Amino acid sequence: MSLPPINIEVISRRIVERLRWYIRDHAKRKCGVIGVSGGVDSAATLALLVRALGPEDTYCLILPSDSTPERDIEDAKKLIRLFEIPEESWEEIPIDPIVSAFEEKLGSLTDVERGNIKARVRMTILYQRAYRLKGLVVGTGDRSEILIGYFTKYGDGGVDILPLGGLYKTYVRQLAKYLGVPAEIADKPSSPALWKGQTAATELGLDYDKIDPILHYRFDKWMKPEEIAEAVGVPERTVEEILRRVEVTEHKRLPPEIFKLELYT
């Protein structure tokens, strides 16, 4: 069983309106700053941001590393051309020299350690540019990634606003195509590309076409794991593994815990 249909046109319009209001009216900022990876989430977010603010006030950064597939860089540039981002409103900054500086001081790093540093270096660059341009950092994470904690805390999770945060990955792919993103980008297998060969499906053990219904039936319909397993057509153990991910990554979705010590005085 798949996800129920949604009204992509209405959702697109509401996100655009909210983006424009949040950046221009609420935060009183001039532009949105976005990291464009060449994947579906950043593609859909870029399309929405251009509709909300116009290409001149959409500032794009391509931040490749040694683990970034060449196709992703090419797709990121293709999207920038497609949505007519002016030459002065985008730049490419390779992050390897910065990551190497960390490794020189910290010693040899595992793939995960190096990957987290890459994500946090990108966050730092986005915020530096946002400060200079009087803008906000527009995140590209979707509801699927947020719920299962498939993001780097204070890395790609370090943003000012998440336009796609209420949409499962399945819906984001539909939205991207509606917004004019080429099908080869909208349907590209998801990967943070923090190390070579990394893919979301391999790391998570399941594709989003199964993860999304599990999340929907649990957190929108509040079905029991055994009911979800039957509805989605996966073992109950698989459902429990996904829900376990949600549980153990809760700290990523919450602000830091503040100890209210006045209670003990």
Examine residue 212 and state whether it is found in any structural domain, yes or no. Answer: no
Examine residue 240 and state whether it is found in any structural domain, yes or no. Answer: no
Examine residue 203 and state whether it is found in any structural domain, yes or no. Answer: no
Examine residue 211 and state whether it is found in any structural domain, yes or no. Answer: no
- Per-residue model confidence as pLDDT tens for the chain (265 residues): 689 999 999 999 999 999 999 999 999 999 999 999 999 999 999 999 999 999 999 999 999 999 999 999 999 999 999 999 999 999 999 999 999 999 999 999 999 999 999 999 999 999 999 999 999 999 999 999 999 999 999 999 999 999 999 999 999 999 999 999 999 999 998 888 888 888 888 889 899 999 999 999 999 999 999 999 999 999 999 999 999 999 999 999 999 999 888 867 6
Q: What's the chain's length in residues?
A: 265
Domain of 90, CATH number, reads 3.40.50.620
Helical ranges in the chain per DSSP H: 8-20, 40-53, 70-82, 96-106, 111-133, 143-148, 169-178, 183-186, 200-204, 208-219, 225-232, 236-248, 250-253
Residue 149 has what pLDDT?
A: 97
Examine residue 81 and state whether it is found in any structural domain, yes or no. Answer: yes
